[in-house]
Structure 1
Amino acid sequence: MSNINLSPESAKDWHVVGLIVQGNPEKFAAIRTALLAIEHTEIPTFDEKFGKMVVVMQSHDQHILLDNMESVKDIDGVINVSLVYHEQDEQKK
């Protein structure tokens, strides 16, 4: 992962994706902790009983974002990851 820490205001491009992540409810806390350890990742809502969560990831680089999204599949207890939204914001400078 890149050591560049850019904000949406300072980046040339900014990508935002929305994911639905389904995981084993028994491993839900560990999945949530692992997701929140990924830079520019948020979990705006979740249902622990059913092991489902909405995850928002952001990055200035689409390749970093793709790597982060792919890494979610490798988290112990994750069953399925579905991309439901993508937006690219190009800054006018």
Structure 2
Amino acid sequence: MTAPPAQSPAREREVHIAGVLVQARAEAVARLRGDIAAQPGATLAQWAPDGRLVVVLEHEGGAAMVQALSALRDLPGVLNVALVYQHAEPWEALQQEMP
């Protein structure tokens, strides 16, 4: 009889932060400003009337980040979503006070 497989250690909670450039149709920008702000974990950082929008995403885990990117891509009027920056940090590290 073989021993049962060792259990993998519990995964450490991570916070993923991403900077995203959204390119959209100019006529969709006014609506997208509200649609993006309504997305969980999304903050509209900058926008231009010509269809360029900068979004900051913050989610727990990589899978949630991928879902958030897909949700942005699926918004009506969006032409392209480009991940510009992503950083993952252990959740516990973000709870420590800064010196």
So what's the TM-score if we normalise by structure 1? 0.80
After TM superposition, what 4+ stretches of structure 1 lie above 6 angstroms from structure 2? none
What are the residue-to-residue correspondences of 1:11-30 with 2, within 5 Å? 12-30=13-31
3-state SS of the aligned residue for 1:39?
coil
User: Identity rate of aligned residues, in percent?
Assistant: 24
Gap runs ≥5 in structure 1: 1-10
2: CA distance, partners of 1:46 / 1:37: 15
Specify the alignment match of 2:69 in structure 1: 69
So what's the TM-score if we normalise by structure 2? 0.76
Gap runs ≥5 in structure 2: 1-11
3-state SS of the aligned residue for 2:18?
strand
Specify the alignment match of 1:6 in structure 2: none
Specify the alignment match of 1:82 in structure 2: 82
Larger radius of gyration: 2
Task: Count residues in correspondence.
Answer: 82
Specify the alignment match of 1:39 in structure 2: 40
Q: CA RMSD in A?
A: 1.7
